[in-house]
């Protein structure tokens, strides 16, 4: 499990996360939801030790993450940031090979198993025939799918994703989230930032509602994503109802126009 204990993060004089404590469930997708600047991305980074914590700790499978090497962390936790960069001249296939970093020694390249993972990940995101292409020739949506393939090929138990489907069309939004749902059912822990309430309602098993660095709700999606909590977090009125066994969030137009 991934356990956050009394974790606070500040950027200068500004407190971004205030004494956050939670335990993320295994075999499930947890969606982090909240307004821009509420601390969602910072929570993922602080959990991985990528930004300094003012107080508190993050533990994975009982070990303090700050005590682990970056390679040890990469073997256990895959992370897709909101924005990723690499040389535009790099080939897509070379990018995906970076996923085996945590499994390689200095004198050994990717194994046969690694290469199977690379091919499977590219096929999953619809880029299996594009491994020879330079990243500079890919569209924005294709690049985003390439980064998702890199995370999948890492084959870590825990996967953290920061807005993974924002640049994708509807087909690939649902395709990627369906895949993540399947992975969670086969033992993966998925934690993802999502802005679309209906995608969270459709695919997340649990949701965490954040506002101004504080958790305002955390639990099973159906009982946590309620009109009352949506109002508190986003200051909008919304109807939440079931349709064909799917949870739907429908903001009221008068609230938007106001």
Residue from 118, 159, 161, 168 nearest 139 by CA: 168
* pLDDT for residue 253: 76
Domain that holds residue 245: 2-257
pLDDT at 108: 64
pLDDT in tens, 74-132: 889 999 998 888 888 899 999 998 888 776 655 566 788 888 989 999 998 889 999 99
Would strands 55-60 and 63-64 be described as parallel, antiparallel, or unpaired?
Answer: antiparallel
- Dump pLDDT digits (tens) for 199-219: 999 999 999 999 999 999 999
pLDDT at 18: 95
Domain count, the chain: 1
* 217 Cβ contact partners less than 8 Å away, ≥ 6 residues apart: 207, 208, 209, 224, 225, 226, 229, 233
Residue 114 pLDDT: 84
| CATH number of the CATH domain containing 228 | 3.40.50.300
Write the pLDDT tens digit of every residue in 144-176: 889 999 999 998 999 999 999 988 899 989 988
| Residue 105 confidence (pLDDT) | 55
pLDDT at 36: 94
Q: Which pLDDT value is given to residue 203?
A: 96
What pLDDT score was predicted for residue 10?
95
Arithmetic mean of pLDDT, 43-51: 95
**Percent of the chain having pLDDT more than 90?**
69
Q: What is the pLDDT of residues 3-32, one digit of tens each?
A: 999 999 999 889 999 999 999 999 999 999
Question: What six digits make up the tokens of 37?
Answer: 């600047």
**Interhelix angle for 140-154 vs 170-185, to 10°?**
10
Please give the pLDDT value at position 103. 66
**What string of DSSP letters covers the chain?**
-EEEEEEEEEETTEEEEEEEEEEEPSSEEEEEE-STTSSHHHHHHHHTTSS--SEEEEEETTEEGGGS-HHHHHHHEEEE-SS----TTSBHHHHHHGGGGGG--TT----HHHHHHHHHHHHHTT-TT-TTSBGGGS-HHHHHHHHHHHHHHH--SEEEEESTTTTS-HHHHHHHHHHHHHHHHTT-EEEEE---HHHHHHH-SEEEEEETTEEEEEEEHHHHS-HHHHHHHHS--EEEEEETTEEEEEE-HHHHH-
Q: How much is the average pLDDT of 230-252?
A: 92
Q: What is the pLDDT of residue 86?
A: 83
The length of the chain, given as a count of residues: 258
Report d(CA 109, CA 16) in Å as an integer. 41
């Amino acid at each position: 499990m991934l356990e956050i204990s009394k974790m606070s993060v500040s950027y200068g004089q500004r407190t971004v996360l205030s004494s956050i404590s939670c335990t993320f469930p295994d075999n499930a997708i947890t969606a982090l939801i909240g307004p821009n600047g509420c601390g969602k991305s910072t929570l993922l980074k602080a959990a991985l030790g990528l930004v300094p914590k003012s107080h508190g700790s993050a533990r994975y499978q009982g070990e303090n993450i700050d005590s682990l090497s970056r390679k040890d962390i990469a073997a256990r936790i895959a992370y897709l940031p909101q924005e990723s960069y690499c040389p535009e001249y790099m080939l897509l296939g070379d990018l995906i090979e970076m996923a085996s970093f945590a499994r390689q020694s200095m004198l050994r390249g990717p194994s046969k198993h690694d290469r199977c993972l690379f091919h499977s990940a590219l096929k999953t995101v619809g880029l299996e025939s594009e491994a020879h292409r330079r990243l500079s020739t890919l569209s924005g949506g294709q690049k985003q799918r390439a980064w998702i393939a890199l995370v999948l090929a890492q084959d870590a138990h825990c996967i953290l994703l920061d807005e993974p489907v924002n640049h994708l069309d509807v087909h690939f939004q649902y395709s990627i989230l369906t895949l993540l749902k399947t992975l969670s059912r086969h033992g993966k822990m998925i934690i993802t930032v999502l802005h679309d309430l209906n995608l969270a309602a459709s695919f997340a098993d649990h949701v965490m509602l954040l506002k101004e660095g504080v958790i305002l709700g955390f639990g099973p999606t159906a009982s946590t994503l309620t009109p009352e909590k949506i109002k508190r977090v986003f200051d909008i009125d919304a109807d939440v109802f079931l349709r064909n066994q799917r949870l739907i969030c429908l903001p009221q137009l008068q609230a938007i126009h106001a």
